[in-house]
Every structure is written in C-alpha cells, then in structure tokens.
A and B are shown apart, each in its own frame.
Chain A
Amino acid sequence: MCLAIPMKLVERTEFEGIVELDGVRRRVSLMLLPDAEVGDHVLVHTGYAIGKVDEREAAEILELFRRYADEGIHEFGEEPPGAPGEEP
C-alpha cells in the first residue's frame, strides 16, 4: 500500500503531468515533485509523483511489482500493472 509505481513523465504543465506505462497514459499531479522534467521516471503514489528513479531502477521495481500484483500487493486502490489482460 505504500507502493509507488515508476512511470515515465511524457508531458507537463505547471502542476500537472501525463505519465505513461505500457502505452497507458494517466494524469498525475506534480504538486509534490515540482522539479520533475519530461523524460524522468517518477514514482507515482495515489495519483501523485513523489520521487524520481533512474531508468534501470524503474525497470527493476516494475518487474518485482508485476509479480507481487498477482497476489494483490498493490498501491492503494490501484489497478496493478500486469493485471489480467495487460501482460504481454
């Protein structure tokens, strides 16, 4: 539940951004990470970017969370990535 999912920031305005994961885009608030830049991998928790990670770390966290997601370990209220239908 304290999980934060790494996603790539692909667009931003002053307080808002668009993050992408597996081609799925979602709105994210940048209120808690005002200096995030387009292209950064950001940790997203309950709709807010809370920290940055590098690309390699992002891939590692994602892989782990996909595994855990099968057992319902997920971010608060989150449809976990790798949920049925999303796996390649």
Chain B
Amino acid sequence: MSGDPFRDRRTVAGLAREIAAVARDLPRPVTLMEVCGTHTHAIAEAGLRRMMPGNVRLVSGPGCPVCVTPVSWLDRAIALGREPGTVLATFGDLVRVPSSAGTLEEHRAAGGRVEVVYSPRDAVEFAAAHPDLRVVFLAVGFETTAPPIAAALAEAEARGITNFLLLPGNKTMPGPLAALADAVDGFLMPGHVSVIVGAEAWRFLPERHGVSAAVAGFTPADVLAAILALLGRIVRGEPGLDNLYGRVVTPEGNRPAQELLARTFEPVDAEWRGLGVLPGSGLGLREELARRDASRIPVELPEPREPAGCRCGDVLRGEIDPPACPLFARACTPENPVGACMVSSEGACAAWYRHERWAREEAE
C-alpha cells in the first residue's frame, strides 16, 4: 500500500544520503530549478532544501501560472470587464492577483460581473444560458490547462454559442526554460505538464542547451530521486533527459490534446513576469478563431504598474529566495499579499512563508 509514512521517511533519508555522497564529486556549486507549483510546495513542506548539501541550491522558477501572468494582461482583463454587457469568467486562482487597477475581487465589489468557474465548460454553459451577455473567459495556465480551454472553445463552436470569448493568456514552458538554461545546472520537469506534452518535449534542454532535465512526480521521494539523477549527470558530464515519472508520463504525451491545441492556438510572443517578452512562449488564437478573441476588442489600458517594492520577478528567475525581499513576512503575507508570488498558494513566496520562514530568521 502506498502512503506508509515510515517507508517514505526511510526512502527520503536514504536518498538524501546518496545525494550528499554524489555532491562531493560535483565540479562546482550547482543550481537546480523546479518549474511547478506543486514541486515548490513539496520541497518547502518536506524541508528538502535543508537536506541539500552546501553546494546544491534548489530554486523555484517560473512554474506558477498565476505568478508569471503579467500585470498588463490583467489590466486588459479588467478593462474588458468594464465594457457594457460583459462578464469575466475565471478560475478562482486569479481573483486576488493585483493589476494596475486593483484585483478582480475589487472589480467585482465595484459592480463588475465576475463568474468564478471550476471548468472552462462551466463558462460555456454560462454563456449558453445568458445569450445577451458577452462572456470572456480568462485563459491562463500552462500546457496542462490549455487543452481543456481549447476543448471548451471547440464545444462552443460546435453548439453555436457565439457569446463565449477567450482572453488568450496561456503559456508554454520551453521559452522560459531556454531563457534560463544558462543560469541553471539542471531542471526538474513538471509531472502534469509532461502528461500532455510528453517527456520527449524536454529533449531540447540537454541537446541544445547542455542542461539536464528530469521529469519528476510529486512526493518528496520523487523529487529527491530526480535531484539525484540530475546530480549524477552533472558529475559524469553527461547532460541528458530522465523520465522518473514513467508510471504516469509517456515519451510522446497526450496526442489528442496536442492536436486540439494545434488546431486552436498558435505560438505568439508573450510577456512573463520577471522574464519579459519571450518569443513563441504564448498561445494566441488562430486567425480563423479571431471572432472568439477578446484581445481584439479595443479597450483603454492604464500604464502597467507592479506593486511597489515587490520582487516577485526576481524570485521567478530564481535570482533571489523570497526572504531576500524586504517585504517578505512583513508587509507581505498570505493574508495580506502584496505580489502574485504570495497571492497564489503555489507561489514561491507563499510556500516559503508557510514552511521556510526559518530562512528569514537565519538571515538576520
């Protein structure tokens, strides 16, 4: 049976010892980056960072979809929400994220209509039930979430529900990984993104960038096993790809989902918080779906403004750990978050706040 805490603890302790042994042979101090909100959390919760030898640094990269969504995109969403007869439909994760003009929650409190949905299909149903309203679905998320959004749009097309639109904001991982590859010695690849794109999608990292990648599951032991694989490759000087989550992730991924993505979206340049505009890293709607594209509706936008003093962008590049932000655990807490990395429960600042505040105390 799974979930035997003693077995888990033994495995974790054994893996930590092996990591310490391998790390002695590292040619230089290394930085390993995870790019998945659930890994961020698993590492913080299980205290894996503290188990690392001094020459192995574990950092969070741009793996939290809400965190990387730039302020300018949210500004557009809120501007669209102010258009007459318009309802914004969104995943709950976005409602407390600050834009230049406040959050979606504040927009709603000021009389704006915001429908929080579990599935993009719910937004399609809402549109079907309210043909007199324009329903704009706020499309965020990585490769895991983009296919369900594409499927919902296909359903709206098939059922002739013309008042369902998307504000395209989905993003794909290869762009930021390529942008960060020089600053990192190895990547832990996100399990559920890999379910869709397939493990082979990350082959470009060792082949083109000379950086190893390991697809990892979500238990602390899964994460440690991936770290061990990455360190082994660095020691041997053999960059490569390892799929340590083969029980769930196939080499080729989910083909029907990939085909639907290709029929719906096309790669566009997209802005990421902390990383700027990355070529081909966003999913824009294809020309034939232009009438579904809410980003084509002209609206007036404010000058984009990040919350003052927030260093979420530096956190997302792995440049600083959250306690290095002067606002961390002072002005900025999960109850009163200043920036997106604290708002989202998957953000690095939120994970550090919950489990690794010791680092703040140690720094003082």
Q: Is A50 a contact of B147 with CB atoms below 8 Å?
A: yes
The verdict on A19 contacting chain B, using a C-beta distance below 8 Å, is no
Residues of chain B with a CB closer than 8 A to A8's CB: none
Q: Is B148 a contact of A45 with CB atoms below 8 Å?
A: yes
**A2/B190 contact (C-beta < 8 A), A50-B195, A51-B254, A61-B218 known:** yes
Chain B: residues with Cβ within 8 Å of the partner, total of 49
Q: How many Å lie between the Cα of A3 and that of B192 in the bound state?
A: 7
Q: How many A-B residue pairs have CB under 8 A?
A: 130
Residues of chain A with a CB closer than 8 A to B119's CB: 46-48, 77
Q: Is B116 a contact of A2 with CB atoms below 8 Å?
A: no
Q: Is A54 a contact of B192 with CB atoms below 8 Å?
A: no
Which of B36, B118, B192 contacts A47 (CB under 8 A)? B118
**A2/B219 contact (C-beta < 8 A), A47-B120, A77-B117 known:** no
CB under 8 Å from chain A, chain B span 273-329: none
Residues of chain B with a CB closer than 8 A to A29's CB: 121, 148, 151
The verdict on A39 contacting chain B, using a C-beta distance below 8 Å, is no
Q: Mark A35-54, 1 if CB is under 8 A from B, else 0.
A: 00000000101111011011
Q: How many Å lie between the Cα of A65 and that of B119 in the bound state?
A: 19
Q: Is B3 a contact of A77 with CB atoms below 8 Å?
A: no
**A59/B2 contact (C-beta < 8 A), A46-B120, A73-B41, A76-B118 known:** yes
**A77/B151 contact (C-beta < 8 A), A1-B344, A2-B37 known:** no
Residues of chain A with a CB closer than 8 A to B120's CB: 46-47
Residues of chain A with a CB closer than 8 A to B192's CB: 2-4, 43, 45, 50
B186: min CB distance to chain A, Å: 20
Residues of chain B with a CB closer than 8 A to A68's CB: 38, 41-42, 45
Q: How many Å lie between the Cα of A2 and that of B354 in the bound state?
A: 20
Q: Mark A50-69, 1 if CB is under 8 A from B, else 0.
A: 11011011011101110110
CB under 8 Å from chain A, chain B span 120-177: 120-122, 141-142, 144-145, 147-149, 151, 154-155
Q: Is A32 a contact of B41 with CB atoms below 8 Å?
A: no
Q: How many Å lie between the Cα of A56 and that of B196 in the bound state?
A: 21
Which of A2, A57, A60 contacts B193 (CB under 8 A)? A2
Q: How many Å lie between the Cα of A68 and that of B46 in the bound state?
A: 11
Q: Is A50 a contact of B144 with CB atoms below 8 Å?
A: yes
The verdict on A21 contacting chain B, using a C-beta distance below 8 Å, is no
The verdict on B56 contacting chain A, using a C-beta distance below 8 Å, is no
The verdict on B239 contacting chain A, using a C-beta distance below 8 Å, is no
- Please list the residues of chain A having a beta carbon within 8 angstroms of any beta carbon in chain B: 1-4, 29, 31-34, 43, 45-48, 50-51, 53-54, 56-57, 59-61, 63-65, 67-68, 71-74, 76-79
- Please list the residues of chain B having a beta carbon within 8 angstroms of any beta carbon in chain A: 1-3, 36-38, 41-42, 45, 64-66, 91-93, 116-122, 141-142, 144-145, 147-149, 151, 154-155, 190, 192-193, 195-196, 218-219, 247-248, 254, 256-257, 260, 344-346, 354
